[in-house]
Amino acid sequence: MKNKFFVTITASDRGKFFTLHDFDIDLLISTSKIKDRKSPAIDAIVTQEEIEKLVKAGFSVKVKEEASKRQFKEKMTDNFKDWIKDMQERKEII
Amino acid sequence: MAYLSATAIEDCIQWLAVAYPAITNLIVLPEQSVEGRTIRALKIASGEGCNRRGVLFIGGTHARELINPDLLVALALKLCQAYTNNTGLTFGGKSYTSASIKLIVESLDIFILPLLNPDGRVYVQTTDAWWRKNRRVNAGSSCKGVDLNRNYDFLANFAIGSTSTNPCSETFKGPSAFSEPETRNARHMLNTYPNIVAMQDVHSSGQLILHPWGDDDNQTTDPAMNFMDPAFDGMRGTLGDMVYKEYIPASDLDWFVSTGNRMRDAISAVRGRMYTVEPASQLYPTSGTSKDYGYSRHFVNAAKRRVYAYTLETGLEFQPPYAEALNVMSEASAGLVEFCLASLCIVEDLSCEADIVDNLDDIRLFRDKELWASERGRTWIKLFRENNWEITALVIKNPDLRRQAVAVLKRANALVVSRKQKLKVIDMETIKMVNDLSSQLIKQASPGFKKAIIEVQNDLKHFKGKSISEILRSH
């Protein structure tokens, strides 16, 4: 699996910004900032090749972090009763 | 502490149904996931009121957004515990009394579907932490998966904005609307439980409370400009232009914004995080999302109930450390409990006793068209919406108040029915009944509700001998 990166993509104007979906990249649309901004921006999870394509197309791409650094590393718990016990210890539930 | 696996989520839902049999029902959804996993929901409700409203919470649509299935399972557990032990619920700086929890569980059917996409969650655990879609094998493509939140039947023949026809895209809409068993299960909930009037599809992240529409800017003035009219095909999805904006009735928009603001305030009280309430299109246009489908159903088929459907985007990360996930779960839970309170309706609760069920559609029409058209009418609607849960709480538990409220509702219904007859005026007895009821309510009301009652009582002084149309015209 290719390395991925959390990035912020900035477009020069709104018109250009709304062409981003043509790249079929993993846009995180809940991070979209278009209101009252001359240079709208959005976060995405992309590969190195996708960064290069975006830059070539005139977008500014700021790499925030390698994606693997943000993932939850521990194994998920299969035993919900242990989870409930932990929740009780943390006083989240009674 | 770690997130719950797909298996643990399903086990916990089944356990809750066994541990709290008096107030829960396990719902096994009719279709297994693409990879053959059974998907379940839980109904939490005490008693069986006639014409009772339902609220639906969906989680785990996007596999990598790990918090929300845990959040919904925890909320189900907390509601069951609090109701059974007759306690309140506290989320950081926001508390709900035992009376509020009792009111929610005894007046609403709460449907919780915590994990819509179990295959995706397993894949996130085992293979790719950033997987979003389900695990569909796409014919003719080496890329797997359909974005379930682009697969609903809303403008399904189009790929607006962040909606893709490319199977390799993270927002691939699939070959057709409801091509996926997982979205068909969500539709099954809305079809099978037609009392569902409000819905939250819980996602991450962004700290957002998103309401319709998602395909274009909203407008409240031209009902003919809407998603069903093919004359506008190809014009949707460009924000800020004058070519097309999606119609939303002003009264509905008010409900979405005021309820969203209530949720925002409840969330903020937990630990100060300020969520933003806005139409989803303002982020990036979309088609095929759950919220737009849920809300659009009654426009497509007027026989279906109007569902006030939102997308809640929790927290700021997909997979924060669990200590932070617990904080996000806490604030989002406060928002969801507040949403339940906002979804209560005393008129519908008492509609069977008042024998006005058959006229509820006309009452809603009167509210949305005629009342809303006058400034005073809008004020009354807003006062009623803001205080509906408190009226419900006071009236439901007190037999005398309940009797009085039923009598007032019957009178109000008669006035609505006869509103076209100019000679039908509000008589002294009706005004006295409303005054008597409001005088009882004011004794136990919160300061905000007291203020609203006084405003209504002042208005009432001018109503005697006037017809409804005269009253609305005079304001």
Predicted local distance difference test score (pLDDT) of residue B302: 94
Q: Which of residues 218-247 of B touch A (CB under 8 A)?
A: 238-240
Interchain pair A24, B282: CB under 8 A:
no
* Mean pLDDT, rounded, for B90-114: 97
Interchain pair A84, B77: CB under 8 A:
yes
Count of residues for chain B?
475
Residue B166 neighbours by CB distance under 10 Å: 14
B contacts of A87 (beta carbons < 8 Å): 74, 77
Does position B475 have pLDDT exceeding 60, yes or no? no
Torsion angle of the four alpha carbons B192, B193, B194, B200, in this order, in degrees rounded to the nearest 10: -120
Q: Which chain A residue is nearest to residue B121, measuring alpha carbons?
A: A76
Interchain pair A71, B161: CB under 8 A:
no
Verdict on whether the full-model pTM lies above 0.95: yes
A contacts of B18 (beta carbons < 8 Å): none
Nearest to A45 among B130, B205, B317 (CB): B130
Does position B474 have pLDDT exceeding 90, yes or no? no
Predicted local distance difference test score (pLDDT) of residue A2: 83
* Mean pLDDT, rounded, for B415-441: 87
Interchain pair A76, B2: CB under 8 A:
yes
* Mean pLDDT, rounded, for B339-357: 95
Nearest to B206 among A4, A30, A86 (CB): A30
Predicted local distance difference test score (pLDDT) of residue B49: 82
Does position B257 have pLDDT exceeding 70, yes or no? yes
Residues B82, B100: Cα–Cα separation, whole Å:
10
Smallest CA-to-CA distance from B406 within B126, B160, B14, B50 is with: B50
Q: Which of residues 52-111 of B touch A (CB under 8 A)?
A: 66, 73-74, 77-78, 81, 85, 87
Walk me through the domains of chain B, giving residue ranges and CATH numbers.
Answer: 6-344 (3.40.630.10), 347-474 (no CATH)
Interchain pair B321, A27: CB under 8 A:
no
Residues B109, B96: Cα–Cα separation, whole Å:
18
Of the pLDDT bands very low, low, confident and very high (cuts 50, 70, 90), residue A36 is low
B contacts of A13 (beta carbons < 8 Å): none
Contact B2, B322 (CB under 8 A): yes
Of the pLDDT bands very low, low, confident and very high (cuts 50, 70, 90), residue B449 is very high
Predicted local distance difference test score (pLDDT) of residue B423: 67
% of chain A beyond a pLDDT of 90 = 86
Interchain pair A34, B239: CB under 8 A:
yes
Contact B138, B167 (CB under 8 A): yes
Smallest CA-to-CA distance from B279 within B338, B220, B227, B218 is with: B218
Helix axes B290-300, B181-192, angle to 10 degrees: 50
Task: Give the residue with greater pLDDT, B451 vs B470.
Answer: B451
The average confidence (pLDDT) of chain B is 95
H helices of B301-374, in order, are 322-342, 346-349, 360-365, 372-373
Nearest to A30 among B81, B85, B208 (CB): B208
Predicted local distance difference test score (pLDDT) of residue B427: 86
Residue B40, φ and ψ in degrees, nearest 5: -125, 155
Residues A83, A89: Cα–Cα separation, whole Å:
10
pLDDT in tens, B263-296: 999 999 999 999 999 999 999 999 999 999 999 9
Predicted local distance difference test score (pLDDT) of residue B284: 94
% of chain B beyond a pLDDT of 70 = 99
Predicted local distance difference test score (pLDDT) of residue B468: 83
Residues B308, B396: Cα–Cα separation, whole Å:
24
Predicted local distance difference test score (pLDDT) of residue B473: 79
pLDDT in tens, B361-384: 999 999 999 999 999 899 999 999
Of the pLDDT bands very low, low, confident and very high (cuts 50, 70, 90), residue B48 is confident
Of the pLDDT bands very low, low, confident and very high (cuts 50, 70, 90), residue A48 is very high
Predicted local distance difference test score (pLDDT) of residue B120: 98
Smallest CA-to-CA distance from B277 within B242, B229, B238, B313 is with: B313
B contacts of A83 (beta carbons < 8 Å): 1, 4, 8, 12
pLDDT in tens, B193-207: 999 999 999 999 999
Of the pLDDT bands very low, low, confident and very high (cuts 50, 70, 90), residue B422 is low
Predicted local distance difference test score (pLDDT) of residue B79: 98
Provide the CA B167 distance to its chain's centre, in angstroms. 31
Does position A1 have pLDDT exceeding 80, yes or no? no
Asked if the C-beta of B326 comes within 8 angstroms of chain A's C-beta atoms, the answer is yes
Predicted local distance difference test score (pLDDT) of residue A79: 95
Structure tokens at B294: 């849920």
Nearest to A76 among B4, B320, B321 (CB): B4
B contacts of A80 (beta carbons < 8 Å): 4, 8-9, 11-12, 15, 73
Residue type, B213: W
